[in-house]
Amino acid sequence: MPTVLAALPVRLDPPPRLLCGPGPSNVAPPVLAAMQRPMLGHLDPGYHGILDDVTAMLRAAFGARDGLAIALQATGSSGMEAALSNLLEPGDTTIVAVNGFFGRRMAAMARRHGAQVVEVEAGWGEAVSNDALLAAHDRHPRARLIGVVHGETSTGVEHPLAELGAALRDRDTDTLLLADCVTTLGGVALDVAEWNVDVAYSCTQKCLGAPPGLSPLVVSERAMARVRARTVPVPFSLDLQLLEAYWVTRPTTYHHTAPVLMVYALHEALRLVLQEGLAERWRRHEDAGAHLRRALAHRGLSLIADPDHQLAPLAAVHVPDGVDGRRVQERMLREHGIEIGGGLGPQAPPMWRIGLMGENATTEIADRVTAALDAVLE
């Protein structure tokens, strides 16, 4: 028997929100408008030009000079999975920096792909020290990969990625460097070629200011050579060689039906990033984040992250003793239409995570968030 609905749901009418949590952030209006442009088929020659533009703009945004630059047809986690599944084969050793929820996820994913994972840990709010990662590399010089989270969204910590890349370059090693740039692309200084990062992935819904749905990914030529040499096949939908054939070499090849409107959105989001200028955009995120952190300190609220490694677009704030953090989040949403995040994962201490990303990285938005927080905490 077919299921019969008692009543058809009414047409969607979601409430307006100011999205100041760990992501998604609000979508820039021109990006939303781009999604209303005429739909093309994914094998249309007109669409190929769009893919070429996206590739060129992704290279510019990541600072990639060679290799592959694509946007995977799923969210940031798929970028993590694509990187690990293409670069690791069962039995390979990989070193992973774990100082929060996403580093832990990277280690867990690498294990699922059969890797021997060496975790190098740091506590909540600390950065994993590059010395500790390099010491692990001394013990495991044949490790295939070192994976780090550039912006650990669960704690608001930025990893000193440039220094790690430089140290690995000095070692002249075959070990590749993988960076999770989900919370940093378009909001925090990043230059993968200059910093010797072989593989980096991100998302669309944070500092780029597009909806969630794609995972921008860059892979150096050196890393692609590793992918081409592997012997164990990769899951079909994440296979970088098939994706390269689809995006670059033979764009008329069918691999998947591309999320065309999301690609339009990313196209416009990247255009806006580059129009603003990377350095200007990074500075805007830094200024807004610093303004927010000063306002929080003024209210006696302390942060989880070591100030020397504070991530600009995200502040993880200790919930003061005696305050019900979840209730504050609920009231911020209900009474002020502002979303802020809470702690992620069972080990997280009570916290609020306030993100000023993309469109929302302004001092005015920071002031709106702190004013609403004042009203709720009164």
The structure tokens 């164990």 sit at 232
The structure tokens 């004042």 sit at 374
Partnered with residue 133 across adjacent β-strands are none
The answer to whether the beta carbons of residues 311 and 157 sit under 8 Å apart is: yes
Backbone angles phi, psi at 212, to 5 degrees: -65, 150
Residue with Cβ nearer ligand PLP (151 or 358): 151
* Options 51-59, 165-173, 180-188, 270-278: segment touching ligand PLP (CB under 6 A): 180-188
CA 301 to chain CA centroid, nearest Å: 26
* Overall residue count recorded for the chain in this entry: 378
Measured from the CB of residue 34, what is the shortest distance to ligand PLP in angstroms? 20
149 lines the binding site for ligand PLP (CB under 6 A): yes
Q: Residue from 81, 126, 158, 180 that binds ligand PLP (CB under 6 A)?
A: 180
124 lines the binding site for ligand PLP (CB under 6 A): no
Measured from the CB of residue 149, what is the shortest distance to ligand PLP in angstroms? 5
Measured from the CB of residue 87, what is the shortest distance to ligand PLP in angstroms? 17
Distance CA 342, CA 353 (A): 6
* Options 83-91, 145-153, 299-307, 329-337: segment touching ligand PLP (CB under 6 A): 145-153
* Options 116-124, 177-185, 218-226, 333-341: segment touching ligand PLP (CB under 6 A): 177-185
Distance CA 378, CA 374 (A): 6
Query: Pattern of binders to ligand PLP over 46-85, x per CB under 6 A?
Result: -----------------------------xxx--x-----
Measured from the CB of residue 309, what is the shortest distance to ligand PLP in angstroms? 14
Q: Residue from 19, 20, 21, 23 that binds ligand PLP (CB under 6 A)?
A: 23
Residue with Cβ nearer ligand PLP (295 or 313): 313
Residue with Cβ nearer ligand PLP (43 or 261): 261
214 lines the binding site for ligand PLP (CB under 6 A): no
The DSSP secondary structure of 35-53, one letter per residue, reads TTSPP--TT-HHHHHHHHH
Distance CA 322, CA 249 (A): 59
Measured from the CB of residue 103, what is the shortest distance to ligand PLP in angstroms? 8
Measured from the CB of residue 298, what is the shortest distance to ligand PLP in angstroms? 27
Structure tokens at 29: 């209006």
Among 60, 337, 316, which Cα is nearest to 208's?
60
Measured from the CB of residue 203, what is the shortest distance to ligand PLP in angstroms? 4
Helices 101-112 & 76-87, crossing angle to 10 degrees? 40
212 lines the binding site for ligand PLP (CB under 6 A): yes
Distance CA 92, CA 84 (A): 11
Distance CA 319, CA 348 (A): 12
Greatest C-alpha distance within the chain: 68
Does 353 appear as a known binding residue? yes
102 lines the binding site for ligand PLP (CB under 6 A): yes
Question: How many chain residues bind ligand PLP (CB under 6 A)?
Answer: 15
Among 101, 274, 279, 271, which Cα is nearest to 190's?
279
Q: Residue from 155, 183, 220, 360 that binds ligand PLP (CB under 6 A)?
A: 183
Distance CA 191, CA 7 (A): 53
- Binding positions for substrate are 353
Footprint on this chain of ligand PLP (rule: CB under 6 A):
22-23, 75-77, 80, 102, 149, 151, 153, 180, 182-183, 203, 212
